């Protein structure tokens, strides 16, 4: 799988160091609040598991599953929620965990939907944020790493559902994405 990467961006020790820092920040901010973490699956699975084990607070955890990419390396702009009911979050402080802030469309849709469930507050935590002009303005309160506008895989992030199990994050070779987008 390494052969399909242009380069590795963040190896395991780099990810672990950053998770330690993020967890400390979150722990400080939520020390006296009723925290509900809402993780977006499947992509934030590794991030969620590794981050939450570093946050010794009495939090509750819910997961949302959305489809926003439809298997390709470009956003379609449409976000489909795969579950019928929203978690019960009235009066709770919500922290949304997601893999990456790209166009912003997915997180804008998720935040909008969760707002209808009347939580006390909503914050967003992403592992990665691409430096780019976004289609929807979304401000992440906690960001693991800022990256250039390149397609990355690993540590939960996929291309055509592959590469999620890589323990590091790398930039996918552009030819692989181009080949896929040329298919009918
Ligand atoms: P959005 O464009 O901000 O709505 O991002 C939607 C989703 O697309 C993200 O949560 C990721 O799961 C996926 N995505 C965006 N950029 C990348 C990338 O570089 N690699 C893998 N998945 C990505
Ligand atoms: Mg994906």
Which pLDDT band, with edges at 50, 70 and 90, does 70 fall under? very low
Query: To 5 degrees, how large is the angle CA 115–CA 120–CA 122?
Result: 55
Query: To 5 degrees, how large is the angle CA 73–CA 129–CA 161?
Result: 30
Helices 45-52 and 12-29 cross at an angle (nearest 10°) of 60
Distance from the CA of 161 to the center of ligand 2, in angstroms?
Answer: 7
Substitution candidate for ligand 1 out of 100, 103, 112, 153 with most atoms within 8 A of CB: 100
pLDDT of residue 85: 77
Average pLDDT in the 70-89 region? 69
| Segment 160-180, tens digit of pLDDT | 999 999 999 999 999 998 887
**Ligand 1 atom with the shortest distance to the CA of 105:** 4
| Segment 103-142, tens digit of pLDDT | 999 999 999 999 999 999 999 999 999 999 988 889 999 9
The answer to whether the CB of 153 falls within 8 A of the CB of 7 is no
């Amino acid at each position: 799988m390494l052969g399909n990467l242009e380069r590795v961006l963040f190896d395991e020790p780099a990810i672990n160091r950053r998770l330690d820092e993020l967890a400390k920040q979150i722990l400080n901010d939520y020390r006296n609040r009723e925290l509900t973490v809402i993780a977006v699956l499947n992509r934030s699975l590794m991030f969620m598991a590794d981050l939450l084990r570093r946050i010794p607070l009495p939090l509750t955890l819910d997961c949302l599953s959305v489809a926003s990419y439809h298997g390709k390396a470009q956003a379609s702009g449409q976000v489909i929620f795969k579950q019928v009911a929203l978690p019960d979050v009235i009066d709770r402080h919500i922290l949304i965990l997601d893999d990456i802030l790209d166009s912003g469309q997915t997180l804008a849709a998720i935040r909008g939907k969760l707002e209808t469930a009347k939580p006390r507050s909503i914050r967003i935590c992403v592992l990665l944020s691409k430096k780019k002009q976004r289609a929807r303005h979304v401000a992440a309160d906690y960001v693991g790493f800022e990256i250039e506008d390149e397609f990355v895989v690993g540590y939960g992030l996929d291309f055509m559902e592959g590469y999620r199990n890589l323990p590091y994050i790398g930039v996918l070779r552009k030819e692989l994405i181009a080949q896929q987008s040329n298919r009918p």
